[in-house]
Amino acid sequence: MTQTLYEKVGGEEAIVKVVDYFYSELVLKDETVNGFFKNTDMEKQRRHQTKFISFALGGPNQYSGKSMAKAHEGMNIQPVHFDAIAKHLHDALAHYGVEEADIDTALTKVASLRDDILYK
């Protein structure tokens, strides 16, 4: 039986660490994108992101948040912002030893949401 990427990276426990690092060490320190999170409940954001990334990596579908388009409505996210977040996700996954091929798989799934996120 083939292991999902979710299982390969260590499941929810590992993804929680990746998400924490993603926000604490990368996103919230990046002036390009940290303004989007100025009035955000970061604990709630981390929980949503953990569920979303878990789902994106083939884990259980626990994500019950708004659609990507609805969640980003009114934010006017530009390509430079999307690319910065994708790079931070890459770097967070790499920081925890996820193989480059697996990171590429994850980022391909994230990239498929680009049109639902940009310019909303």
> What residues are designated binding site for heme?
48, 72
Task: Give me the DSSP letters along 15-84.
Answer: HHHHHHHIIIIIGGG-TTTGGGGTT--HHHHHHHHHHHHHHHTT------S--HHHHTTTS-B-HHHHHH
- Annotated binding residues, as ranges? 48, 72
